[in-house]
């Protein structure tokens, strides 16, 4: 299926679905004003897909929200014109604006869990949207429409699963449900704000294929906001690069990616991790193949973890054995639900194994050990929002009980500086920092007890490519300087290859392939590993189209891998 080709918007030969002229968005911050978007203009016609890319804070999501008038009623000050489906979003009456949202344009948000009502079944939420915009529709017909769109976005057994609540869906299925809700009223424009962030590569590819097919079938326009240039390359025809609220470059996606004119665009492309790029050798790394028994720091043998009881029992990790040597990085990859995070939490004994053993320096590990620390995926939820970041970093030092309060404060400030943060920010709260800065706080806290091994659970999954590169560089620097061993859990195969000495591939609770990173990536043995690598986004739009067609014609490597 080939989406409708976009009309030449520069020539103005077609009536635009979306027309933005001189959009400027200011947010009051106390006595100051922050300009999030500065004099932005673009157009979108029927069937066209536009990708908006840039680092965190570039104004991408602010633009997406402006298209549906979501800044109205807030403290934001907008100037310029935003017209969607012929409606002036800034001046339209509330009734007209309500007709626009969902009926003419719909939005898919980044975090489906926070966008869905946790108490209502998915089908009821979709049916409610349909009835709001189509009052003459009966409850029964609205319910059937919900089942139809759930089936269309690939939810298996849609009639039964429509009665499920959000927590009963995986991350990928929740994102599909959110897309189904957006499609309930057949909108002419779909605005997708980071729709694949934090999804593993196979689910990400499925979501992008779905959006491509929906465009081909309905002719709807798509505005795709993303920090992932690979996602944009495989999903749109035109792209707009933003920095500091302004458009710095725009044009056909192939042209911008292959021949960027602006230094900033070239910097973004240079920061994108490539699955073919090997890790640079590190003096501190100790490859297990050449290590003596004394070099083994942590050893897991036939580790198993079950949740629930009897008939409802779920085996999350099933007989996994692996080792981590001093100074090396072990990467663990796999789809959502493969058991990666559960295994990581068991390695630092935040979860007790149901079976098997974990040995640290040759001795059975029976509880939490200060030498083993963890950096969590979501620094927002792992930091106390009511305490300054310095206090969070200081907590492990206080727990040790070996330092005075003055020494603890001094050491916490030193750790903040060690991870690239200003020690004067000691008393600032987590919400005052960017995502990358919060992740640095999490790393500082993990360093506080002086660990020998740190498990990093998806430490860069929600960060833009530039910030991602900075955090990975910080981890490599700390590993080199402190001789740390790292266990890097990630769904991004390119990140894992660049940062890991060895790689273990997990599927359904077991390790299906393990070995030196270059061997696993260059010559994978397991079909599942091959399927994961085939789903990695590429920066060449033509290659992305060929891969999409191969998945469709071949029945889908992704579907085969999920069986």
Q: What is the reported pLDDT for 192?
A: 92
Note the pLDDT tens digit of each residue in 382-415: 889 999 999 999 999 998 888 899 999 999 999 9
Q: What is the reported pLDDT for 11?
A: 40
Our separate counts of H helices and E strands in the chain read: 22, 20
CB 489 within 8 A of CB 332: yes
Considering only residues 520 and 432, tell me which one the structure prediction assigns the higher pLDDT. Answer: 520
Of 463, 470, 535, nearest to 197 by C-alpha is 463
Instruction: Tell me how far apart the alpha carbons of residues 68 and 52 are, in angstroms, rounded to a whole number.
Output: 16
Mean pLDDT in the chain?
Answer: 87
Residues 418-445, mean pLDDT to the nearest whole number: 90
Instruction: Tell me how far apart the alpha carbons of residues 464 and 38 are, in angstroms, rounded to a whole number.
Output: 21
> What token pair was written down for 302?
């036939």
Q: What is the reported pLDDT for 82?
A: 96
Q: Is the pLDDT of residue 105 over 60?
A: yes
Q: Is the pLDDT of residue 508 over 80?
A: yes
Element (H, E) at 452: none
Q: What is the reported pLDDT for 554?
A: 63
Tell me the whole-structure pTM to 2 decimals: 0.80
Q: Is 200 left (phi over 0), alpha (psi -120 to 50) or beta?
A: beta
CB 349 within 8 A of CB 358: yes
> What token pair was written down for 168?
């009963």
Note the pLDDT tens digit of each residue in 47-100: 899 999 998 888 999 999 999 999 988 889 999 999 999 999 999 998 899 889
Q: Where are the alpha helices (DSSP H) in 68-170?
A: 94-99, 112-115, 122-133, 139-152, 158-161
Three state DSSP letters for 30-86: CCEEEEEEEEEEEEECCCCEEEEECCCCCCHHHHHHHHCCCCCCCCCEEEEEEEECC
Structural domains in the chain, CATH included, are: 18-113+189-269 (3.40.50.300), 284-371+451-536 (3.40.50.300), 384-450 (no CATH)
Instruction: Tell me how far apart the alpha carbons of residues 491 and 198 are, in angstroms, rounded to a whole number.
Output: 8
Of 474, 483, 84, 48, nearest to 238 by C-alpha is 48
Instruction: Tell me how far apart the alpha carbons of residues 540 and 287 are, in angstroms, rounded to a whole number.
Output: 34
Q: Is the pLDDT of residue 447 over 90?
A: yes
Cα separation values, 19 from 10, 100, 324, 448, Å? 12, 14, 55, 51
């Amino acid at each position: 299926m080939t989406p409708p080709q976009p009309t030449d918007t520069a020539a103005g030969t077609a009536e635009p679905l979306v027309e933005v002229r001189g959009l400027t968005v200011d947010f009051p911050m106390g006595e100051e004003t922050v300009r999030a978007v500065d004099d932005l203009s673009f157009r979108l016609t029927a069937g066209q897909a536009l990708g908006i890319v840039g680092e965190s804070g570039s104004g991408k999501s602010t633009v997406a929200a402006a298209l549906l008038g979501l800044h109205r009623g807030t403290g934001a000050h907008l100037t310029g014109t935003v017209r969607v489906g012929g409606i002036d979003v800034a001046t339209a009456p509330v009734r007209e604006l309500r007709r626009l949202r969902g009926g003419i344009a719909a939005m898919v948000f980044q975090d489906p869990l926070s966008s869905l009502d946790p108490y209502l079944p998915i089908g009821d939420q979709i049916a409610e949207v349909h009835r709001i915009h189509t009052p003459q529709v009966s409850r029964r017909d609205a319910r059937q429409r919900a089942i139809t769109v759930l089936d269309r976005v690939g939810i298996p057994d849609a009639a039964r699963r429509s009665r499920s609540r959000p927590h009963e869906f995986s991350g990928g299925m929740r994102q599909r449900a959110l897309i189904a809700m957006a499609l309930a009223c057949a909108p002419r424009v779909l605005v997708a704000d980071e729709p694949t962030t934090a999804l593993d590569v196979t689910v990400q590819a499925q979501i992008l294929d779905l959006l491509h097919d929906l465009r081909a079938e309905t002719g709807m326009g798509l505005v795709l906001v993303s920090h992932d240039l690979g996602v944009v390359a495989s999903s749109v025809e035109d792209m707009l690069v933003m920095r500091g609220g302004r458009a710095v470059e725009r044009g056909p996606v192939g042209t911008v990616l292959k021949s960027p004119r602006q230094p900033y665009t070239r910097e973004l492309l240079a920061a994108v991790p490539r699955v073919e790029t090997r890790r640079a050798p590190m003096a501190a790394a100790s490859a297990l193949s050449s290590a003596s028994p004394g070099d083994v720091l942590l050893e897991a043998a036939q580790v198993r973890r079950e949740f629930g009881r009897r008939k409802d029992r779920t085996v999350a990790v099933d007989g996994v054995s692996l080792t981590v040597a001093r100074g090396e990085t072990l990467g663990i990859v796999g789809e959502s639900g493969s058991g990666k995070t559960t295994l990581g939490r068991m390695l630092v004994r935040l979860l007790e194994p149901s079976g098997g053993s974990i040995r640290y320096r040759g001795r059975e590990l029976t509880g939490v050990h200060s030498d083993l620390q963890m950096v969590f995926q979501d620094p927002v939820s792992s930091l106390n929002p009511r305490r300054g970041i310095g206090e969070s970093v200081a907590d492990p030092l206080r727990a040790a009980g070996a330092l005075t309060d003055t020494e603890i404060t001094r050491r916490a400030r030193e750790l903040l500086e060690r991870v690239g943060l200003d020690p004067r920010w000691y008393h600032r709260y987590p919400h005052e920092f960017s995502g990358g800065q919060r992740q640095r706080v999490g790393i500082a806290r993990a360093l506080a007890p002086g660990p020998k091994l740190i498990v990093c659970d998806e430490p860069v999954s929600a960060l833009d490519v530039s910030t991602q590169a900075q955090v990975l560089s910080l981890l490599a620097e700390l590993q080199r300087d402190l001789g740390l061993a790292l266990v890097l859990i990630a769904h991004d195969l390119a990140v894992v290859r660049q940062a890991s000495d060895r790689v273990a591939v997990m599927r359904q609770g077991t390790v299906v392939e393990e070995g030196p990173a270059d061997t696993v990536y260059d010559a994978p043995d397991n079909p599942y590993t091959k399927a994961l690598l085939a789903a990695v986004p590429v920066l060449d739009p033509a290659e992305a189209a060929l891969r999409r067609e191969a998945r469709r014609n071949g029945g889908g490597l992704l579907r085969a891998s999920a069986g």
